[in-house]
Amino acid sequence: GERKGLKIKGFDLSNSPLEYTRERVEGKRVVMTTTNGTKTLNKVEAADKIYIACMLNGKAVGKRLVEEEKDTVIVCAGTNGKFSIDDYACAGKIIYEANKFGKVELDDFAYAAFSAYNDHKDDIISLVKNAYHYKYLLSLGLGEDLKYCFKEDISDLVPEYKSGRIK
How far, in whole angstroms, is CA 122 from its chain's centroid? 19
The predicted model gives 94-108 an average pLDDT of 96
pTM for the model stands at: 0.94
Give me the percent of the chain exceeding a pLDDT of 70. 100
On whether residue 18 sits in a domain, the answer given is yes
Give me the number of domains the chain comprises: 2
pLDDT at 129 exceeding the cut of 90: yes
Q: Which range marks the domain in which residue 15 is found?
A: 1-34
What pLDDT shows up at residue 130?
95
pLDDT at site 36 = 94
Spell out the residues 6+ positions from residue 81 whose beta carbon is closer than 8 angstroms to its own: none
The angle at the Cα of 6, spanning 133 to 155, to the nearest 5 degrees, equals 70
Beta carbons of 50 and 44 less than 8 angstroms apart: yes
Predicted pLDDT at 134? 96
More confidently predicted of 110 and 103: 110
CATH classification at residue 68: 3.90.1560.10
- pLDDT at res. 75: 98
pLDDT score of 39: 94
24 and 83, same domain (yes or no): no
Q: Is 103 a residue whose pLDDT tops 90?
A: no
Residue 121 shares a structural domain with residue 40: yes
Q: Residues 71-93: what's their mean pLDDT?
A: 97
